[in-house]
Copies of this chain bind each other. A is one copy, B any other.
Amino acid sequence: MPWELKSDRPIYTQLIEYIELMIVSGVYPLGSKLPSVRDMAQEAAVNPNTMQRALAKLEEDGLIITHRTSGRSITEDESMVAKAKTKLAQQQISEFLEKMQLMGFDQQEILTIIDNMVKGMKK
């Protein structure tokens, strides 16, 4: 996992999105323990303060539980994660469709393009 961080957006927001993706996809399972702030910061090659900021936001959103001295873990509330996944997906889809329409593609075009792209993907 490469932690591909670009410089066109604040790093902490990219960290939030990336970690959230790992959670909703199950790479970080329900209730599992997360590495320490320092370790995660080192793995992502960012400053601990920056990682701290991202994790604080994820805790605020209820996806992560903080145990003051024994580290952090993913929430055990399955519905919390499911809700986050649904929200993320719908957000992705609507943004995508909106931009494609603004570009001038009509509904049928979008469908066929997607269909071709999906078929072209390695499964």
- Residues of chain A at the chain B interface (Cβ within 8 Å): 8-10, 13, 21, 24-26, 85, 88-89, 92-94, 96-97, 99-100, 102-105, 107, 110-111, 113-115, 117-118, 121, 123
Taking CB atoms, residues of chain B closer than 8 Å to A89 are 100, 103, 105, 113
- Integer count of this chain's copies in the complex: 2
Q: How far is the CA of A100 from the CA of B107 in the complex (A)?
A: 20
Whether the pair A121, B97 counts as a contact (CB closer than 8 A) is yes
Q: How far is the CA of A25 from the CA of B102 in the complex (A)?
A: 6
**5 closest Cβ pairs, A-B complex:** A25-B104, A96-B96, A107-B118, A21-B102, A9-B9
Smallest CB separation, A20 vs chain B (Å) = 10
Beyond A8-B9, A8-B10, whether A111 also contacts B103 by CB under 8 A is no
Q: How far is the CA of A121 from the CA of B21 in the complex (A)?
A: 27
Beyond A111-B118, A118-B97, whether A103 also contacts B13 by CB under 8 A is no
Beyond A93-B113, A113-B93, whether A107 also contacts B88 by CB under 8 A is no
Taking CB atoms, residues of chain B closer than 8 Å to A117 are 93-94, 97
